[in-house]
Amino acid sequence: MRNQPHETIEDVRSDAIEKHHISLTINGTSYNLEVEPWTSVLDLLREHLNLTGTKKGCDHGQCGACTILLEGKRINSCLTLAIMHDGAEITTIEGLANNDGLHPVQQAFIEHDAFQCGYCTPGQICSTIGLIHEGKAKTLDDIRDLMSGNICRCGAYNNIVKVVQEALENHKNQTP
Amino acid sequence: MRPFSYSRAEDIDTAVNEVTAHEDARFIAGGTNLLDLMKIDVIHPQHLVDITHIAHDTIENTEDGGLRLGALVTNADTAYHPEVEKRYPLLAHAILAGASPQLRNKATDGGNLLQRTRCYYFYDKTTACNKREPGSGCAAIDGYNRLHAIFGASEHCIATHPSDMCVALAALDARVQVTGPDGSRTIPFEDFHRLPGDTPEKDTNLREDEIITSVDLPPKGFADHYTYIKNRDRASYAFALVSVAATLEIEDNVIKDARIALGGVAHKPWRNKEAESLLIDKPADRDGFQAVAAAIVKEAKSFRYNEFKIELARRSIVRALMEASQTYQ
Ligand SMILES: Cc1cc2nc3c(=O)[nH]c(=O)nc-3n(C[C@H](O)[C@H](O)[C@H](O)COP(=O)(O)OP(=O)(O)OC[C@H]3O[C@@H](n4cnc5c(N)ncnc54)[C@H](O)[C@@H]3O)c2cc1C
Ligand code: SF4
Ligand code: FES
Ligand code: FES
């Protein structure tokens, strides 16, 4: 077995790589930013903008804790580069509530007790909103399948499925 | 991640020029496989060329009556496209059996073809892997090889190709359109991915300076008789152990055309055309399906931990053909 020590970043490449300018609208606020090419949207949110509601679980697309809405579509913010999204509109968990109170899906998570530690919850909520917009979930099995990109280590799945089901019904009633 | 420089291409020619002009450069599309592997330092390009702003992001009818999937269309937009749902439901089902909704919203059709193997040793830089580091050996052959190939493996690599979408594209005889510095060419799907042989570092026959522009589907979509079965360790969000895409064309209960592609069993989506031809002009019944399944798995060779795949493949082929013979629109 070979077990080489990792080369450090300094060994490999210089600081010569330039930052790029991008502008983003996040939760309705515009930002003008200088980003390094390798900064993920997740790291940009958490480390640079202090929007720490979006969580880092695995950093590899496997858990869904980092789910955000990019142009209204749910994606994993850990597996995409900020630099690729100049001009884009992003919604995170911080952007869902308004002056009237919590977003209905946030409220439903509380009412149905759909979390324990809460670490996966911001991702679950953004994913639920994405799922509703997609309009593809018809049955309980569909809900389970189309929420499977969000892992909950506490196993709050039963109540999460109830929330999604209720949110879908409310959405149907509002848009005849 | 190691630092790298970045540029954005707005059209195919610029993309090809950019990737040739920079040392150790790669295209980035959805980024869902590339960034995953860059984070663990399995690949470490010095420059990325962003191709997501190139206009090859639509699905259009082709002159021969088929459908052209632009390389930058997302997997989600492909699976839910009305023409794909109606004319190529096998493809829609296969895509939706893979990854998660979030990933499918980012992953592109071109990137899906080029995703790397999920062999655990390929991901683990402390082990030997000829695919990651040519000449270092293969830790999987005598290691934990439950995920690995039962067809077409070599003494240098026994990895499998993990894509679901590609299994359907193999069954549909898709064609891959590519452009490089010397112009454009068409690669038939069966020639796109390769067997490992003694160069397992090469997954496909695409050259490094070539870009995929589209994946073209021929007119025949088998919308009446198709199925995609994916066997995996949990019901969703897991890679295939063995998957089967089966399509049939049936007239008066006689089979006129049959395709069977297997996923999770080889370095490329696996087809055996000789075995498929056993079905032609025969009735669509279980006896015939069992004979084909037996002919296909006859060539299988297992390793210490993946023997189960042979029987799983045999049974899945029979079940897939039974289901395909029964689907009606
Ligand atoms: C947790 C997880 C689970 C997954 N589960 C499944 C599953 O069950 N089934 C399945 O099939 N897949 C699965 N995937 C893989 C996923 O489908 C792929 O990561 C995705 O399709 C890759 O597409 P992309 O656009 O993101 O490619 P990228 O990551 O952008 O690129 C991948 C490679 O293709 C090259 N490339 C991209 N586009 C082009 C082009 N047009 N021309 C030339 N080169 C190009 C890049 O240079 C890179 O080398 C999973 C992924 C993750 C992270
Ligand atoms: S099977 Fe292939 S990918 Fe896996 S360790 Fe061996 S050489 Fe590497
Ligand atoms: S942190 Fe992005 S999917 Fe786990
Ligand atoms: S509530 Fe703890 S991980 Fe889901």
Q: Is residue B42, in this structure, part of any structural domain at all?
A: yes
Mean pLDDT of B27-38: 98
Fold of A104-174: DNA polymerase; domain 1 (1.10.150)
Instruction: From B204, B50, B37, select the one nearest B123 (Cα to Cα).
Output: B37
Q: List the CATH number of the domain containing B254.
A: 3.30.390.50
Q: Is residue B141, in this structure, part of any structural domain at all?
A: no
Contact: B5, A17; criterion CB under 8 Å: yes
Contact: A148, B236; criterion CB under 8 Å: yes
pLDDT at residue A15, rounded to an integer: 64
| Domain boundaries, position B314 | 226-326
Is residue B80's pLDDT more than 80?
yes
Is residue B104's pLDDT more than 60?
yes
Is residue B91's pLDDT more than 90?
yes
Q: Cβ(B170) to ligand 1 under 6 A?
A: no
Q: Is residue B241, in this structure, part of any structural domain at all?
A: yes
pLDDT tier for residue A67 given thresholds of 50, 70 and 90:
very high
The class of domain A14-95 in CATH terms is alpha beta
Mean pLDDT of A26-33: 98
Q: Is residue B203, in this structure, part of any structural domain at all?
A: no
| Residue B233 at interface with chain A, using a CB cutoff of 8 Å | no
Q: What is the pLDDT of residues B118-130, one digit of tens each?
A: 999 999 999 999 9
pLDDT at residue A3, rounded to an integer: 40
Q: A157-174 and A121-134 helices cross at what angle (nearest 10)? A: 40
Strands B47-50 and B5-8: parallel
Q: Cβ(A153) to ligand 3 under 6 A?
A: no
Residues of A in contact with B80 (CB under 8 A): 134, 136
| Residue B61 at interface with chain A, using a CB cutoff of 8 Å | no
Whether B242 contacts B309, CB under 8 Å: yes
Is residue B190's pLDDT more than 70?
yes
Q: List the CATH number of the domain containing B43.
A: 3.30.43.10
Is residue A4's pLDDT more than 50?
no
Q: How far is A174 from chain B (nearest CA, A)?
A: 24
Distance (angstroms) between ligand 4 centre and the Cα of A155 equals 7
pLDDT at residue B327, rounded to an integer: 67
- ipTM value, please give it: 0.96
Distance (angstroms) between ligand 2 centre and the Cα of A90 equals 39
Whether B51 contacts B26, CB under 8 Å: no
What is the number of structural domains in chain B?
2
**Per-residue DSSP letters for A87-120?**
T-EEE-GGGS-BTTBS-HHHHHHHHTT--SS-SS
Ligand 3: residue of A40, A63, A75 to mutate (most ligand atoms within 8 A of CB) is A63
Structure token digits, residue B28: 């980035």
Where are the strands (E) in chain A, listed by range? 20-26, 29-35, 67-70, 73-76, 89-91
Mean pLDDT of B100-113: 98
Residues of B in contact with A150 (CB under 8 A): 100
In the three-class reduction of DSSP (H, G, I as helix; E, B as strand; rest coil), residue A169 is classed as helix
Instruction: From A135, A164, A133, select the one nearest A148 (Cα to Cα).
Output: A164
Contact: B28, A84; criterion CB under 8 Å: yes
pTM: 0.96
pLDDT at residue A173, rounded to an integer: 86
Instruction: From B265, B250, B243, select the one nearest B320 (Cα to Cα).
Output: B243
The domain locations on chain A are: 14-95, 104-174
Q: Is residue B235, in this structure, part of any structural domain at all?
A: yes
Strands B226-231 and A67-70: unpaired
Shortest-distance ligand to the CA of residue B230: 1
Q: Is the dihedral of CA B28, B107, B317, B225 positive or negative?
A: negative
Residues with CB under 6 A from ligand 4: A 115-121, 152-154, 156
Q: What is the pLDDT of residues B226-261, one digit of tens each?
A: 999 999 999 889 999 999 999 999 999 999 999 999
Name the strands in the sheet holding B47-50, side by side, starting at the edge strand that comes first in the sequence.
B5-8, B47-50, B25-28
